[in-house]
Copies of this chain bind each other. A is one copy, B any other.
Amino acid sequence: MTPPLSIDAARFLGRLGSLARIGRDAQGRLTRLAASDADRAGRDALAAWMREAGLEVMVDRIGNLIGLWRPGGRDGAPVMMGSHIDTVIDAGAYDGCTGVLAGLAVVETMRAAGREPARPLAVAAFTNEEGVRYAPDMLGSLVAAGGLAVEEALATVGTDGTILGEELARIGYAGPHEPGFLRPHAYVELHVEQGPVLEREGIAIGAVEDLQGISWQEVTIAGAANHAGTTPMAMRRDAGVAAAQVVTWLRERARAGNGRSVATVGRLRLEPDAINVIPARAVFTVDLRDPDAARLSALEADFAARLAAVARAEQVTATVRRLARFDPVAFDPGIVRAIEAAAGARGLSTRRMTSGAGHDAQMMARICPAAMIFVPSIGGISHNPRERTADADLVAGANVLLDVVVRLSGADPASPSAGAGA
């Protein structure tokens, strides 16, 4: 049996550090919004590294940047790795960049070792994954997966009034290829967890088997403002009390499930917001997530029923505005098993898990077998300059990605016909 390959850790970590220096402001804050000048600089660095690694660099019309390795000019559906290099405002160094640079390291490692795969390998950096400048998030992968027409996507107006298509052209990343021109054989994305589970459980590798569905709603409860001193409890129509009942119920309902549902009320405001006036209005957001479509729908239905019951009991009215809705995604069981097997073979602890955040992998899962590898986020912190993953965990994740891609691409001499699927 061929000895296992390993990526060049110093080069991988060095590039991660280099990329994290691109897009710093005068205060040292990292902000590399999609299709900005900082994004151009990041893309330029990535493209240069891809070319150094011997990849063909290709850009599609929505700006997705792809490095392709066709060993011996081989055609066919590639095994694709990737993620994104755009960031939130005042971001950390790991979100997205880890997956892109690990993919590049995988290709370099296989090339250097002469382990030619049976199919092409691709490394993708998708446009506007964060969704900070242009909505929706995961826009580049969504378009590549056929979920949004490219013309519509290019016409997107940003929070700063810019048009995405114009900005992509301006920075030189409005490419000639039709989005989706490469339909992958399989897609694997390495990403930092952005949550606390792996670190708390002391586990090195998460084999991500599914991704939560998300339901975002804004609830407005309307009661009646009245004097806090002169209005007896029995005569009140207190919008704040009604909202509080919904918040406490929601937490119990999410807890009572099988541990997979999460429910969060992150925003809440009262009107008129005076110490001695009974709240006339409460406006709050409800973020519901579950990896199972039926369970998410049941959670939504139970919430709607409870809200109506509280409104009746408290003599208030409740209106709901839907802000967003994404169905859950189930990743490919065969790739998930391959991730577990690769981690196990390297002596790394592993667990199956659910992604609580959205990722490009969920869009690619629409068109090919896909899964994700998670590595621990220290303190669960993300979208924050304090975002961090230990170097050893980053390298371990990249090596698991390597092993899985070796297997999926038919470069593994021990199992030449291995591929995606159960």
Proximity bits, A244-274, B CB within 8 Å = 1, else 0: 1101100100110001011111111110011
Q: Which of A130-183 contact B (CB under 8 A)?
A: none
> Does A277 make an interface contact (CB < 8 A)?
yes
Q: Which residues of B contact A259 (CB under 8 A)?
A: 232-234
* A200 in contact with B235 (CB, 8 Å): yes
Q: Which of A183-218 contact B (CB under 8 A)?
A: 193-197, 200, 212, 214, 216
A243 to B247, CA, bound (A): 9
> Does A74 make an interface contact (CB < 8 A)?
no
* B270 in contact with A267 (CB, 8 Å): yes
Q: Which residues of B contact A247 (CB under 8 A)?
A: 240-241, 244
* B289 in contact with A266 (CB, 8 Å): no
Q: Which residues of B contact A234 (CB under 8 A)?
A: 255, 259
* B279 in contact with A266 (CB, 8 Å): yes
> Does A278 make an interface contact (CB < 8 A)?
yes
> Does A276 make an interface contact (CB < 8 A)?
yes
Q: Which residues of B contact A357 (CB under 8 A)?
A: 227, 229-230
A263 to B229, CA, bound (A): 8
Q: Which residues of B contact A298 (CB under 8 A)?
A: none
Q: Which of A218-232 contact B (CB under 8 A)?
A: 226-232
Q: Which residues of B contact A254 (CB under 8 A)?
A: 233
> Does A275 make an interface contact (CB < 8 A)?
yes
> Does A385 make an interface contact (CB < 8 A)?
no
How many A residues, CB 8 Å from partner? 59
* B270 in contact with A275 (CB, 8 Å): no
Question: Given A193-B230, A233-B255, are A265 and B240 also a contact pair (CB < 8 Å)?
Answer: yes
> Does A409 make an interface contact (CB < 8 A)?
no
> Does A98 make an interface contact (CB < 8 A)?
no
A214 to B229, CA, bound (A): 8
Q: Which residues of B contact A232 (CB under 8 A)?
A: 195, 197, 259, 262
Q: Which residues of B contact A273 (CB under 8 A)?
A: 266-267
Partner of A244 from the list B200, B226, B248 (CB cut-off 8 Å) is: B248
Partner of A275 from the list B216, B269, B358 (CB cut-off 8 Å) is: B216
A323 to B276, CA, bound (A): 12
* B275 in contact with A231 (CB, 8 Å): no
Query: Closest residue of chain B to A272, judged by CB?
Result: B266
A230 to B287, CA, bound (A): 12
Q: Which residues of B contact A383 (CB under 8 A)?
A: 227
* B231 in contact with A241 (CB, 8 Å): no
Query: Closest residue of chain B to A268, judged by CB?
Result: B270
* A230 in contact with B194 (CB, 8 Å): yes
Question: Given A276-B264, A285-B275, are A233 and B212 also a contact pair (CB < 8 Å)?
Answer: no
A383 to B276, CA, bound (A): 12
Query: Closest residue of chain B to A357, judged by CB?
Result: B229
A287 to B276, CA, bound (A): 7
A276 to B88, CA, bound (A): 14
* A248 in contact with B241 (CB, 8 Å): yes
A370 to B195, CA, bound (A): 63
* B264 in contact with A228 (CB, 8 Å): yes
> Does A382 make an interface contact (CB < 8 A)?
yes
> Does A238 make an interface contact (CB < 8 A)?
yes
Tell me how far the C-beta of A246 lies from the nearest C-beta in chain B, rounded to whole angstroms: 8
Of the listed residues A255, A262, A274, the one surrounded by the most CB atoms of chain B closer than 10 A to its CB is: A262
Point out residues on A near B: beta carbons under 8 Å: 193-197, 200, 212, 214, 216, 226-235, 238, 240-241, 243-245, 247-248, 251, 254-255, 259, 261-270, 273-279, 285, 287, 289, 323, 355-358, 380, 382-383
Closest 4 CB pairs of A and B: A195-B230, A229-B356, A230-B356, A244-B247
